[in-house]
Each structure stands twice: as C-alpha cells, then as structure tokens.
Amino acid sequence: MENIVIIGAGGFGREVKTIIDAVNKNNAVYSFLGYYDDGLEVGKSINNFPVLGTVSDLNAVTRKTSVLLGVGDPKIKSKIIASLDNDYLNFPTIIHPSVCISDDDVTIAAGCVICAGSIITCNISIGKFVTLNLMCTIGHDTVVEDYASFMPSVNISGAVHIEKNVYVGTGAKIINQLTIGSGTIVGAGAVVSKSLPRNCTAVGIPAKPIKFHENE
C-alpha cells in the first residue's frame, strides 16, 4: 500500500481523507499516515489521525510518500508546491469512486482532488493540482489550467477556458465558450455570461468584476 498524507487538516483536508477512505473500500490502495499543517500543534489528533508536522517538514521525509492538497486557495496551493523539493514525495490525483468521467479524450494531470458526485464529460484537459469539490460538472472541450479550484456545485459549460489559479465559488455557473483569466475569483452563485479578465473578483448575475487585485 502507498503511504499517503494530506497537507491541511481543516474542513476540506478532512473531506479529502474521506475520498481516501472511499477509494480504499473498493481496493486498498493507500495507508493514511496523517496531516501536515502549519497552524496546528504536532501530535494533535484529527479524527484519530495525527498532525505529523508543518509543510516544510515534508522536505525531510526519507521514505516514499504520496501527498494530497487539502487546501482550496489556488495561490496557497501554488506556494506550497513551490516550497517542496524532495524526491521522496509524489503527488497522485485522487478521484472519488462516484465521479463520472468519459473515456473520450479526458486528461487529468497530477495532484488533482476530485470529490464525490462530479461529472467530467468529453475532450477535456485538466491541469495539475486542480480541485473539484462536491457535485461539480465540466462540459465538453473545456481546458482547466493548473491550481484552479471549484467549490461545490459549480457548473462549467462546454468549450470554456479556465486559466491558472482561478477560484470559483459555490454554485457558480459558467456559460459556454468563455475564458476566465488567471488569478480571477468568481463569487458564489455568480452566473458568468461573458469572459472575465485576469486578476479580478467577479460577482452577480450576470457576473461583473467589482475589483482587481495584484498578481501574486
């Protein structure tokens, strides 16, 4: 069995642990060791599993260890991965058994977390360290770049291009043939009917940018 740990012991990190459990029910693949979290005391018990250390402690690991990101913020995900430089670490994609994925030209890169009830149709490319929370849908011919995060019940129509580090809030909908610029935040419940520029926060129906922020 593969030794596996989760970065982040908050709510989403604990939910990622439930995906490991669901995968193991079908076929025992992973041996879960515990969490790494910068904000919690080492040794603290989280649902009967320990906090093993801080994120930087993973650079001192000396046995092969799989690592999942239990973090939703795209910029934090990117910074965490940039801080890790240890050949013993690998970053699998984990997919809940209930997820529906077409066999027709779907590619999913390393480090993704895809939660229960999500649907991924055909001719779709998903980059590294993408998070699809519960009950998300991605339509045909969509491209999702690295580190993007989608909260529960986000619906993405066909031929959408989601650039790097995009965050989409719960229940948002993105109409077909649009582009969401890198670093942009789409608010919960928004309906995106026109393409959005980079590094903005957009809310409402239809979604409109309400502020711009620096690219970090």
pLDDT of residue 215: 62
pLDDT digits (tens, 9 = 90+) for 39-86: 999 999 999 999 999 999 999 999 999 999 999 999 999 999 999 999
How much of the chain exceeds pLDDT 70, in percent? 99
Question: Using CA atoms, how far apart are residues 138 and 168, in angstroms rounded to an integer?
Answer: 13
- Terminal C-alpha separation, the chain: 38
Beta-strand relationship, 173-174 and 161-162: unpaired
Q: Which residue positions in the chain have pLDDT lower than 50?
A: 216
Q: What are phi and psi of 36, to 5 degrees?
A: -120, 125
For residue 27, the model assigns a pLDDT of 86
Round to whole Å and give the CA distance between 158 and 161: 9
